[in-house]
């Protein structure tokens, strides 16, 4: 290239420096867009991949550069064993959840008479299951159980929902398959040709961190997240915990006593134990007290009331108010019998549901599922739109009316989770036993070293499909495209850091900043704190892949083993407690527990420092003794 273009040879060195600088700019830009969510995480990841392909594949063909990477290496993250293992474990977790195999745990906890004991066992169960399953299905499983427990015991405690999310994260730090973050650190070490982590390498230090983390959750968090003292905040919390209030939709019929009367708050007060929040006529909506018209037949009322009160209004059609009807659907009567019973049930919308961001009208819910949504519960946020046009959110609870067979079919879908005790769900005992058996075999094979973790996970997911435990459609829905794209882009950035020497530059900078103390335990301790704080701003998976090569470079510079530094990255990347965006489980419980952003800072930041202090002790007495 320099022979053909001699006038370019003198700028090769500057172009190489520009290439290294560009990698750092891409990393900083990626962190910013991941944190700000200006673009979706998927779009940000794709932009990073395209930029790196241009920088290392297209650009070197015009300007002579020292560093180049083939496209196959930049895109190797899509075929990474760590990624395949993560996706396979998501399929296995989906099979366990959808067959009702994990329902035994929730049903047992809900029967205990002691609130304190039930809550303790629930947190410990979430921690234990998260050691072998992805955190998200575990938290999705236990949210309805915890809500039912708080309602039955008349408790308005604010901390249990967040405590459950934190406990699941701590449990995921005790085994190599407990979190996708753990697998990515191990996969990065394999990609670098370095000694990697075994199944139980992190178990003892992980249990140590989890023990003190649980003490913090049980003893300190209740004091930091006290129930609100002001009357408005207490009423809001009581409404969310002691009795969910749904917003239901009713139509005024021709024989309603409201027809011809002036709409007013006083008139609507005759609907006992309920509040009219919106009146809709055609395309126009009116909210009390701004009402100045006579009511007509066909007007729609949005009514906020408890589940019990809505049941009464649906059954008796009080005040001539008609709920949405199932008429015009013959599917269920043909499939389930002419005299099949119509029932009501509550369904929780998990974060990975395809319903999120779409309205009932977009979904054609009544046509596709032969059921109608009578009401929607969304914590303390008021909905001032027609239910059919309201976009659904993760954490919403839908009150659904349908025939028994249709409700049963709906409860088997991954897009909705049946709320405990709201319907009588019949788990498939045969499929559940197969799922448990496959899962146990996979864990035993991986834990004993009989086969690599990637093989065990992939074989387990394949067995779930081959034996009919899970359908191919449900398995595909269990896969998270965010995980695929973020991991692929993070691997590409990590490879770029290595080939340009950026990881060594960062390692030298970190060592220079801590040069006044050359002790490896000291450097390891502050490296843990640095990664832990940053993981609350960016994706934990991106932090794991990006900082693993930096950790190895720091260890090499200090002349010590890279394993303690890799474990530091693993634990620190999981410590995303201080923001709701750090972990998907935090986002999930944010709505369910009525939390604000500052609540996570108040309760999560001290837990990060608890983990840091515990890890600092480990760095002196466990890793470098």
pLDDT digits (tens, 9 = 90+) for 179-188: 878 888 888 8
What is the fold of 244-322?
Alpha-Beta Plaits (3.30.70)
- Which pTM was predicted? 0.58
Check if 244-322 and 331-418 are the same fold: yes
CA distance linking residue 129 with residue 107, whole number of Å: 15
Cβ–Cβ contacts within 10 Å for residue 230, how many? 8
Flag whether pLDDT at 1 surpasses 50: no
CA distance linking residue 476 with residue 87, whole number of Å: 10
Flag whether pLDDT at 132 surpasses 90: no
Per-residue model confidence (pLDDT) at position 463: 92
What is residue 294's DSSP assignment?
B
Residue 137 Cα distances to 95, 119, 577, angstroms: 10, 19, 18
Q: What are the extents of the domains in the chain?
A: 1-70, 82-227+429-481, 244-322, 331-418
* The token pair that represents 333 in the structure block: 């009567």
**pLDDT-derived band at 387, boundaries 50, 70, 90:** confident
More confident residue, 333 or 320: 320
Per-residue model confidence (pLDDT) at position 610: 95
Per-residue model confidence (pLDDT) at position 171: 92
User: How much is the mean pLDDT over the chain?
Assistant: 77
**pLDDT-derived band at 160, boundaries 50, 70, 90:** confident
Per-residue model confidence (pLDDT) at position 566: 92
Per-residue model confidence (pLDDT) at position 211: 95
* The token pair that represents 396 in the structure block: 């919403």
191-209 confidence digits (pLDDT tens) = 788 888 887 888 999 999 9
Question: Of 31-40, 236-245, 596-605, 609-618, where does the model show the most confidence?
Answer: 609-618
271-314 confidence digits (pLDDT tens) = 877 888 778 887 677 777 667 788 888 888 888 887 777 777 77
Whether the CB-CB separation of 486 and 39 falls below 8 Å is answered with no
Instruction: Give the mean pLDDT of 406-427.
Output: 71
- CA 359 remoteness from chain centre: 21
CA distance linking residue 387 with residue 399, whole number of Å: 11
Q: What is the CATH number of domain 331-418?
A: 3.30.70.1450
Burial of 602 (0-12, 13-18, 19+ CB in 10 A): middle
Which of 53-57, 233-237, 379-383, 539-543 has the lowest average pLDDT?
233-237
579-595 confidence digits (pLDDT tens) = 766 676 776 677 667 77
Query: Is the Cα dihedral 108, 113, 117, 118 positive or negative?
Result: positive
């Amino acid at each position: 290239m320099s022979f053909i273009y001699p006038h370019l040879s003198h700028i090769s060195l500057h172009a190489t420096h520009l290439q290294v600088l560009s990698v750092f700019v891409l990393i900083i830009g990626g962190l910013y867009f991941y944190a700000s969510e200006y673009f979706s995480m998927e779009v940000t990841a794709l932009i990073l991949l395209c930029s790196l392909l241009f920088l290392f594949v297209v650009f070197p063909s015009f300007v002579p550069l020292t560093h180049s990477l083939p496209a196959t290496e930049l895109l190797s993250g899509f075929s990474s064993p760590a990624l395949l293992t993560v996706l396979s474990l998501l399929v296995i977790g989906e099979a366990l959840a959808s067959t009702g195999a994990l329902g035994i745990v929730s049903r047992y906890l809900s029967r205990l008479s002691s609130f304190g004991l039930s809550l303790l066992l629930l947190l410990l169960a979430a921690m234990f299951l998260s050691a072998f399953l992805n955190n998200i299905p575990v938290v999705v499983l236990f949210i309805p159980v915890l809500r039912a427990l708080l309602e039955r015991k008349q408790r308005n405690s604010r901390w249990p929902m967040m405590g459950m999310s934190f406990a699941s994260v701590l449990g995921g730090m005790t085994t190599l398959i407990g979190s996708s973050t753990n697998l990515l650190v191990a996969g990065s070490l394999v990609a670098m040709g370095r000694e990697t982590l075994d199944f139980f390498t992190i178990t003892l230090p992980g249990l140590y961190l989890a023990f003190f983390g649980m003490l913090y959750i049980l003893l300190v968090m209740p004091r930091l997240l006290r129930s609100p003292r002001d009357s408005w905040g207490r009423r809001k919390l009581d409404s969310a915990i002691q009795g969910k209030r749904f917003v239901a939709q009713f139509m005024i019929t021709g024989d309603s006593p409201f027809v011809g009367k002036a709409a007013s708050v006083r008139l609507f007060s005759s609907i006992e134990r309920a509040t009219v929040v919106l009146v809709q006529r055609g395309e126009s909506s009116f909210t009390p007290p701004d009402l100045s018209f006579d009511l007509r037949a066909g007007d729609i009322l949005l009514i906020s009331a408890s589940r019990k009160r809505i049941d009464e209004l649906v059954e008796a059609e009080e005040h001539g108010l008609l709920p949405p009807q199932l008429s015009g659907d013959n599917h269920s009567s043909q499939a389930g019998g002419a005299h099949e019973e119509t029932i009501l049930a509550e369904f929780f919308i998990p974060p990975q549901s395809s319903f999120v961001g779409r309205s009932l009208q977009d979904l054609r819910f009544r046509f596709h599922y032969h059921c109608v949504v009578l009401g929607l519960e969304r914590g303390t946020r008021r909905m001032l739109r027609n239910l059919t046009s309201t976009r659904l959110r993760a954490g919403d609870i839908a009150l659904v009316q349908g025939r028994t067979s249709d409700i049963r079919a709906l409860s088997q879908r991954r897009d909705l989770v049946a709320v405990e005790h709201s319907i009588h769900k019949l788990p498939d005992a045969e499929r559940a036993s197969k799922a448990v058996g496959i899962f146990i075999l996979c864990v035993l094979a991986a834990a004993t070293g009989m086969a690599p973790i990637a093989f065990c996970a992939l074989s387990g997911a394949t067995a779930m499909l081959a034996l009919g435990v899970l359908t191919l459609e449900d398995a595909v829905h269990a896969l998270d495209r965010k995980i695929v794209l973020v991991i692929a882009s993070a691997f590409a950035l990590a490879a770029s850091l290595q080939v340009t020497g950026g990881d060594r530059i960062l390692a030298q900078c970190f060592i220079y900043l801590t040069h006044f103390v050359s002790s490896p335990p000291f450097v390891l301790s502050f490296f843990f704190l640095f990664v832990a704080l940053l993981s609350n701003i960016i994706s934990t998976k991106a932090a794991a892949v990006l900082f693993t090569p930096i950790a190895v470079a720091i260890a090499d510079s200090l002349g010590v083993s890279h394993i303690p530094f890799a474990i530091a990255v693993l634990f620190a990347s999981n410590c995303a407690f201080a923001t709701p965006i750090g972990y998907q489980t935090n986002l999930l419980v944010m709505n369910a527990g009525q939390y604000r952003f500052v609540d996570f800072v108040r309760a999560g930041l001290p837990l990060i420092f608890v983990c840091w202090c515990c890890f600092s002790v480990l760095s002196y007495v466990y890793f470098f003794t």
